[in-house]
Amino acid sequence: MLLMKSGLTVPLLLCSTLVNASGEEAPALDIIEIHGQQTEGLSPLDLPGSHTRINLSEAANSTLAIEDILNQQSGIQIRSIGGRGQFSYPSIRGASGKQLQILWDGIPLSTLNGMEGNLPSVGMSSLEAIDIYRGTAPVELAPTAIGGTINLRSRQHSNHNSEGNAYLAAGSFGYGAAGGWHASGSETWQIFTAADYMQAENDFSVSAANGSVDSDASSVKEKRENNAAEHTTAIFRADYQGFMQWKPSFLFQHLDKRQELAGLRNIKANQAYTAETTSNLSLLLDHQADKNQHTTMVLTLSETDETYDDQGDNIGLGRQKNIYSNTGILARLNQTYKYKKTDYLFTASIRSEDSDAEYRLKSDSTVRSDCLSGNDCPYSYTRNQYHLGTRITHQLTHATLLNTQLSYLQLSDRQNAVYGLTETENNESFISGDIGADIWILSHTTFGILFSSQVRPVTTQELFGDRGLTLGNPDLKAERSQGVDLTLSSFFTLGEWSLSGYYRTREDAISASADSRGVIRYDNFSSTRHTGAEVTIDLNITSSVSIKGNSGWHNQIITDHIRPAFIGNRVPNQRTWDHYYALQYMKNNWSSAIAYTRQAGGFYESTNLLAIPLRSQVNFWAGYTLTDLTFRFEANNLTNNRVSDFYHYPVPGRNFAFKTSYRW
């Protein structure tokens, strides 16, 4: 089920539930008030703006990955490379990369020191929902996300029963997966654990002339080389409720992935790959002093290790095997107060990360010589982030809810003295905020408006340099964004719909350019303007038939650029039109659906000379449940449309999968 947020508030949900259950008009609005928002239970439905919570109960029986589910949502486009489990980069209303934040249960998966917005390998067994914030996000979650925030929410278990699920899946191009979850509880303990494993060879056929150096014959077909992906995910959570008002929780999250690097063309000898392992260990404390005061505290230790291995120099960045390590700590305190018709949230956090690089194929003497001569040099730097924020929610009238957020952010960066280099420091501070309102205009219809001003600080990667072939730029300015969001939504007996529009400008956008040696430097290249409109529907046509989907129009324009010829052109890699609609049938033990995706417009690069072709795909699935067993068959991309998100990069076509699940 999809819960849409377009100016929708908690009273609307309560009122709609009463109408649907009884068929009678809901009670007068003056008896329904909003108070005591809690951070852990905070929903996108609680904040002004165009936000969404995606319920994953239905998707749990599918072979869909996170990127597939996000690609079905309004305003979100996913750029993927080469098949299941390969690199996937989300874009929310024209914002991507470091302009987005990705979290798992409120714990950041994007590092402070410059990790790109590649979607994590979180398995579906562990997840209950995905929260999507387009533009602004809760002040306590993502103070630097100027483009949007994706928060992955794990399953919650709150009863004394023991329950769980296990599955096996297989499909085209060497796809296989297995996993499951188990939850149990008592009067004082709640335990949840989940694990997922997925692998895919992604050895689909490609035209030799299009993807190989071994043949020039367009009629020759060969399998894609060195394109496999392997993902492992695990989570363990223990909640204790025996300390009266205090509820401590222990949380461990682990992600491991290995992705082969195929490159644009097939090379038989290519063995390049990247590997990444992330582990988060968290202690959470929840304290409910009384009905008017609530406190949450989070302490997280994190570690991420990345390997880039191209010892055969097949990708084009030089022969190398580099290890990148990142260790961090996050301490966060959230305090909520309720006073009459106003809710107050105060949040304070400290986040510190140390990042280091190691070049395995070079001796220390060679590395030192390269560093002192100005050639590629492994980095070692530290970033400390201090954040203070507040949110005030006031029920002005029984039909009007006001909300404002304010953040103060201070950054302290240091490039450590290594291999003879001198220590370099940088300190900056920023203020950002937003203000909005939800207004009831009809019994089941709300109008929302949100004004925002946000800042995305320069990362240490961009500031000091990174990964061997990147130069730092100490003169970089932070990216800034100002926006207005308008929303209109309605609940009724058959379902819900929403209409949203946005206008956003982004200044001093940071982009990378390469010189003749392939050395990358970051600069404030451009400013952009983003406008668009989106409509979303979720309708129950009959008790067995439903339709849901969305359409969006987006106009992303370069308004200023270091190259004047680009001014007025469209921002690259952004579609103009995107549509997704699914017709679903559910009767007794059977369920099935057919879905259509259409994406049109857009260009691969800033010159706007290479247009992105039309993507038109049809997917189908059918499932059957027999007591505790569920069987599901999926046919994806039946139209065999092979439009690539990256120019000339081979992608799979028609593919199939089968999954069986057992629940206890």
Proportion of the chain above pLDDT 70, given as a percent: 88
**Per-residue b or e along 380-390, where b marks 16 or more CB atoms closer than 10 Å to that residue's CB:** bbbbbbebebb
Higher pLDDT, 421 or 358: 358
Closest CA to 67 of 25, 119, 145, 18: 119
How far apart CA 86 and CA 67 sit, in angstroms, is 10
Q: What is the pLDDT of residues 153-194, one digit of tens each?
A: 999 877 778 999 999 999 999 999 999 999 998 888 999 999
Q: What is the pLDDT of residues 100-116, one digit of tens each?
A: 889 999 999 888 776 66
- Is the confidence at residue 196, as pLDDT, over 90? yes
- Is the confidence at residue 218, as pLDDT, over 60? no
- Is the confidence at residue 19, as pLDDT, over 70? no
Element (H, E) at 368: helix 364-372
Q: Can you tell me the mean pLDDT for 382-403?
A: 95
- ∠ CA(410), CA(416), CA(422), 5° rounding? 115
Query: Is residue 565 classed as helix, strand or coil in its secondary structure?
Result: helix
Q: What is the pLDDT of residues 562-586, one digit of tens each?
A: 889 999 999 999 999 999 999 999 9
Which residues have a Cβ under 8 Å from the Cβ of 359 and sit 6 or more positions away?
320, 321, 322, 367, 378, 468
- Burial-class residue 315 by CB neighbours within 10 Å (0-12, 13-18, 19+): middle
**Is the pTM of the predicted complex or chain greater than 0.85?**
yes
Q: Which domains does the chain have, with CATH numbers?
A: 2-214+226-663 (2.40.170.20)
Q: Can you tell me the mean pLDDT for 107-136?
A: 84
Q: What is the pLDDT of residues 258-267, one digit of tens each?
A: 999 887 778 8
Residue 173 bridge partners (DSSP)? none
- Is the confidence at residue 244, as pLDDT, over 80? no
In the prediction, which pLDDT does 263 show? 77
> Average pLDDT of the chain?
86
Query: From its phi and psi, is residue 288 left (phi > 0), alpha (psi between -120 and 50) or beta?
Result: beta
